[in-house]
Amino acid sequence: MIVVTRLNGSRFAVNPDLIERIQENPDTTLVMVEGTTYVVRESLAHVIGLIADYRALVLATASGLPVMEGQRLSLVPKPADGGGADDDEPDGADGTGRATPLRPGQR
């Protein structure tokens, strides 16, 4: 959630994944996917920065979570990681280390 300020000074949190668009003419307006609009004090650039910070926090939090049995949580590895393959998991079926696409019905 990101916290923004109404023109009357009250603050509220909004789920940035539900924002369809942000307009600025001259007031900043958040238009939600279901059609609700909110006029806020923050500038267009500031709201975009809040959303970017929120998404960075989500990724940082996800990268620190422990992996539980039967659940695989991962981020896209950096290229320097060599693809991020685990030692206990086979590389691609062709031996190149690339992931092999699954066929329909294959797990």
Q: Is 74 left (phi over 0), alpha (psi -120 to 50) or beta?
A: beta
What are the residues facing 28 on neighbouring strands? 24, 40
Q: Quick one: average pLDDT of 33-61?
A: 94
Fill in the amino acid letter for 92: G
Residue 63's closest CA among 13, 100, 90, 55?
Answer: 55
pLDDT at 42 over 90: yes
Stretch 31-51: mean pLDDT: 97
- pLDDT at residue 64, rounded to an integer: 78
Task: Indicate whether this model's pTM tops 0.85.
Answer: no
Section 79-107 average pLDDT: 56
pLDDT at 65 over 80: no
CA 52 → CA 22, 46, 55, distances in Å? 14, 10, 5
Across the chain, which distance is largest between two alpha carbons, in Å? 62
pLDDT at 33 over 70: yes
